[in-house]
Structure 1
Amino acid sequence: MKFWKQLCCLGLAAVAMLSVAGCGGSSPESSSSGKMQKLSIGLMPDTDSLPFLIAEEKGYFADEGLEVDLKQFKSAMDRDSALQSGNLDGAVSDMLAAAFAKDGGFDVKVTSATDGSYKLVAGKTEGAVDVKGLQGKDVSVSRNTIIEYVTDEILAKDGLKGEDINKVIIPQIPTRLEMLQNGKLAAATLPEPMASIAIHNGAHLVKSSDDLGINPGIILFTDKAAKDKQKEIQAMYRAYNRAVDYLNTAPREDYIDFVIEKAGFPAAAKEALKLPTYHKAALPKEQDVTDCIKWLNAKDLVKETYGYDDLVINLLGE
């Protein structure tokens, strides 16, 4: 009789242990089911966003068992508002936006650099052929963004300050391009492919971020996503890297129509678009972070002097 009582007690204990284990297995952080949480990522109408579009189209995200909701934005302001309102986990962004968010009490983590290029382009009827020739003229930027930062860095390289040109603030990139092409601006700073479209249509290049060797473009995630969705972010980067390989090796005709439609590029991009040589996901250079923070501090846009480790985190799964 004593044996059967002991056996019954052991059986009840085993059932209790299984029940506890079952409850633990339902936790979102549990890997028992292997199911990934969805990622929501904000994109901009530039070439930095193309690896994400290719990864979705080619099924690279799906191969990782990952659902990614890609949301398109036309201005950095709209993208950042969506990020801070909780509608995005991450975004194609820039170091300035990361610093602004952190300074405002909304913590984000920079997870990789991108391959963006930003160009100061003069209109086709504009006589200025160099940076100094734009002194006192209307040059369009988006205020307190990567565009204004690159513009100021280009000016500084030629001994000018931001106040030496008349900055015309146009947040939306397509509108900036349209006004430049319509002769309403002397020049504008544009990302790709808008810069190449402007040049294809008669505008001329003055100087670019490539000439200066600066690269403040990044991919970032909210602090919450960086903590709660690490395996999803790592899976995203595996798919992203496959898309980079595809874009670097596939014939242009295999993807050009698709990327123009999905990225919302103007039809002129079909002929004008020149893609960069994409690099697989890697952390940004410390100098790029430092230079951006210096610019923000000098303009009293950000109070703190953030270091590299304050903003950058390694979630690449290396």
Structure 2
Amino acid sequence: MLDLKKWWLGAFMLGIITLLAACGGNTDHAEGGDKEKMVIGYFPNIDHAPAMVARENGYYEEKLGDDIELEYITFPDGGTFMAALKSGEIDAGLVGPGPVLNNFSNGADVKVLAGASSGGTVVVASEKSGVESVEDMAGKTFITPGIGCTHDVQFETYLQQLGNDELASSRIGGSLHHVTGNPASYPAMFESGKVDLAAVPEPWASILVDNGAKVIISTEEIAYGESLPNTVLVANNKLTEEKPELAAKLLEAHDESVAFINDNPEKAKKIAIDSIKDLTNQEMDAKIVAQAMSRVTYTTKVNEAVLKEFGNSSYELEFLKEAPEFDGLVADQE
């Protein structure tokens, strides 16, 4: 069973780490002597393992060269990541497609360079919720990392496809109450009874299940479960248009990292465990991480048609005010 005091500490530490990193990220990219700075962002989630592996194995440094000074910032959700990307606080990194599509449709200068992972989103219910199946969800409270985030859209699209108006967020006339929060805090929120359900990425889904939660909607069942790129490599247009050679080298490092994960799953698992421990002050059980990574496919491929369909779902769920147009979002795939 999970030590809740440690989880609260982990959630607190993650917030402090993110805040301190963000403060450091405000540095002018021209600082650092003759070196040019590049700032990369990612989350302490299993589907962001390509960034963890690339950082640990030195792939970014190797590909970008000695003239580039690298800095890393971690984020709790896609909204804060995209705000940092748009402001120039970070140059590139890994994030879910939901925030990318939402921001692109509102005029953000961003480019999807590649996929990073697919799958991994799971909807679980707490032991105290009384939820044993989807039919029991009416009137319950669910949590996601952000409003309109990838996992939120997947869950709400799944509910929409059921054709039961009651099984929808109260935001669009249903009975489910939606709240948001850092996934590291979900075990404590389940224990306190503040939330009943979570649409959550790995490893947090496996951790919740290990702590007694029940899987209600699996990765295979949820909307876009295995076809949607759950995490993508993105960059702002300042990098892709003004310094395409650096964007290309960043992509090479990313490709090498994804290949490493698929060729060396045990080593990748250890890197993920160590990285998440550094970021959250929590050491994940190897069996939990193995279960989490089994739900995720690491691939650089991006199915642009699925991304557009996913974006249309965001519009139908009223996360987007206008019908989206996504031409030019995805870089040409070789």
Distance 1:203 1:278 in 2: 23
Paired residue for 2:305, among 286, 300, 304?
Answer: 286
* 1:1-318 equivalences in 2 (<5 Å): 38-66=37-65, 67=68, 68-116=70-118, 117-141=120-144, 142-160=146-164, 161-163=168-170, 164-211=174-221, 212-214=223-225, 215-217=228-230, 218-250=232-264, 251=266, 254-264=270-280, 266-273=282-289, 274-276=292-294, 278-299=297-318, 301-307=320-326, 309-314=327-332, 318=334
Give the number of the structure whose alpha-carbon radius of gyration is greater: 1
Name whichever of 46-55 and 178-187 sits farther off: 178-187
Shift of the alpha carbon at 1:249?
A: 3.2
Distance 2:187 2:178 in 1: 13
| Equivalent position amino acid for 1:236 in 2 | L
8 A Cα contact 2:127 2:213, kept in partner: yes
Shift of the alpha carbon at 1:69?
A: 2.3
Distance 1:298 1:155 in 2: 11
8 A Cα contact 1:48 1:92, kept in partner: no
SS of alignment partner, residue 311 of structure 2: helix
Distance 1:269 1:221 in 2: 33
SS of alignment partner, residue 199 of structure 2: strand
| Equivalent position amino acid for 1:239 in 2 | A
Shift of the alpha carbon at 1:209?
A: 4.2
SS of alignment partner, residue 176 of structure 1: helix
Distance 1:234 1:181, change over 3 A: farther
Distance 2:109 2:273 in 1: 37
Shift of the alpha carbon at 1:227?
A: 0.7
SS of alignment partner, residue 55 of structure 2: helix
Tell me the C-alpha RMSD between the 2 structures. Answer: 2.6
| TM-score for the superposition, normalised by structure 1 | 0.78
**Number of matched residues?**
281
Residue segments in structure 2 that go unaligned for 5+ positions in a row = 1-33
Residue segments in structure 1 that go unaligned for 5+ positions in a row = 1-34
Distance 1:240 1:197 in 2: 27
8 A Cα contact 2:115 2:299, kept in partner: no
8 A Cα contact 1:42 1:92, kept in partner: yes
Distance 2:78 2:281 in 1: 16
Distance 1:40 1:114 in 2: 18
8 A Cα contact 1:177 1:198, kept in partner: yes
SS of alignment partner, residue 219 of structure 1: strand
Provide, for residues 232-258 of structure 1, a one-character-per-residue CA deviation record: whole Å limited to 9, x for no partner: 222222222222232223325743542
Higher relative contact order (CA 8 A, sep 6+): 2
8 A Cα contact 1:108 1:221, kept in partner: yes
| Equivalent position amino acid for 1:57 in 2 | E
| Equivalent position amino acid for 2:282 in 1 | P
Provide, for residues 120-169 of structure 1, a one-character-per-residue CA deviation record: whole Å limited to 9, x for no partner: 11012333222121111111223122122012022124333333342231
SS of alignment partner, residue 114 of structure 1: strand
8 A Cα contact 1:40 1:71, kept in partner: yes
Distance 1:300 1:109, change over 3 A: same
Distance 1:231 1:224 in 2: 12
Shift of the alpha carbon at 1:188?
A: 1.1
SS of alignment partner, residue 71 of structure 1: strand
Distance 2:303 2:241 in 1: 20
Shift of the alpha carbon at 1:259?
A: 2.8
8 A Cα contact 1:118 1:189, kept in partner: yes
